[in-house]
Amino acid sequence: MKKRLAAVAVALAGLAAPGATAVPELPPYAEAYQPQGTDERGIWMLADEDERVLRDSKFLIGDPALRDYVTAILCRTVGRDRCHGVRIYILRVAAFNANMTPNGTMQIWSGLLLRVRSEAELAAVLGHEFAHFELRHGLAGFRHQRAALDIAAWAGFLGQYGGAVRQGAMGSIYQFSREQERQADLLSLKYLKQSPYSAQAAAHIWERMMAEADATALGRKQKSTRYNRVPYFATHPTNLDRATYLADLARDVPARTEGDAAYVDRVGTWRREFLADQLKLNDFGGTEYLLGQLAASGWSADLLYARGELYRMRGHPRDLAAAADFYRAALAKQAELPEAYRGLGLALLRNQQRAQGCEAIQHYLALHPSAPDAAMLSTMISQ
């Protein structure tokens, strides 16, 4: 039995991931890289099948200009020689997320595009995902998981010691994933340091994500997340950990371009649609925080309209009064904004202000007679 335990201990030690305590050097670039070995070819085959499905997804945003803009940011971040093998797919999903598969497929979710505030912040995320690809993390993670599951299966022969061995093997899977995320963060920082973009932007994202999560918890009357403790099943470092080490490593780097104005200009054409998706999440606290962040340089008509919708949807009597004010402020900035008249009318009607509500709805119907809800609203105000 002692020999078995010793062998298992050696195997578990071999599963440990190397520490990521410094920014790694850029790995050698391999042009037109092809999978090597049975494991990697199998992983790429599955990724190729997923990409075929992804190309026809109903959530795919078919805007070549937006895709080309995001691709250009990636190329400026990691280098034009490295970025040409990547295919970027932008999906209309309201959550903050991006991922990359071993075959070079990168997914960017619209919730991420809504939350980042500059080209530099987006570059940090794109560089992180590309680092997973360049470091072949998909293959390493697959092999680690397979080895850990083998050890967990053999632990059944160790009797009373099997439970602890199995727990250690399974825990190593999540620890290995967290270490890969740190490595990708640090290599992304290396990309940023050699790009035109500011390296300090990488930490800003995680600082705001913590604040948004706290706002969501407060709005739902829940406890805030403990950022100073890593859950057993966590696949990523905590946001506090990431914000801390990224800020520390970028502290002495000269500030460079943020590209916030260019980002707002190019992505702003989609912002109204992305905000509409965010409102459907039923997250009052988080959405209110997000709108405040987006309005850091001033409240625009689309942000005021979205805020009006947020308060109207919650629907407390005081919310309806606040929503009406937000709609009016939006119309003061953009007089011919049909949706604002619709929201204003509905808020006033629900707040027992029928005459003013009907007038606002009529104005909406005059501006947008072919609206899909025109018949319903006409019936509502005629009763």
pLDDT for 28: 66
pLDDT for 320: 96
CA quadruple 145, 148, 150, 156: dihedral sign: negative
60: DSSP letter = B
What is the rounded CA–CA span in Å between residue 83 and residue 61? 21
CB 189 within 8 A of CB 36: no
Residues with pLDDT less than 70, the chain: 1-28, 30-31, 159-161
Most distant pair of Cα atoms in the chain: their distance: 86
What is the rounded CA–CA span in Å between residue 188 and residue 206? 14
Residue type, 285: G
pLDDT for 170: 85
Q: What is the CATH number of domain 270-382?
A: 1.25.40.10
Q: Which sequence spans correspond to the domains of the chain?
A: 2-250, 270-382
Residue that the structure tokens 């805007």 belong to: 63
Q: For the segment 121-176, what is each residue's pLDDT rounded down to a tens digit?
A: 999 999 999 999 999 999 999 898 889 888 888 877 776 667 787 788 888 888 99
By C-alpha distance, which of 112, 85, 76 is closest to 29?
85
pLDDT for 5: 45
Name beta bridge partners: 105: 87
DSSP 359-382: HHHHHHHHH-TT-TTHHHHHHHHH
pLDDT for 160: 66
What is the rounded CA–CA span in Å between residue 241 and residue 69? 30
pLDDT for 14: 53
By C-alpha distance, which of 302, 306, 315, 282 is closest to 216?
282
Name beta bridge partners: 99: 107
* Residue 161 CB-half CA count within 13 A: 12
What is the rounded CA–CA span in Å between residue 84 and residue 123? 16
pLDDT for 6: 44
Residue 125: CB partners within 8 Å, gap ≥ 6?
A: 98, 112, 116, 188, 205
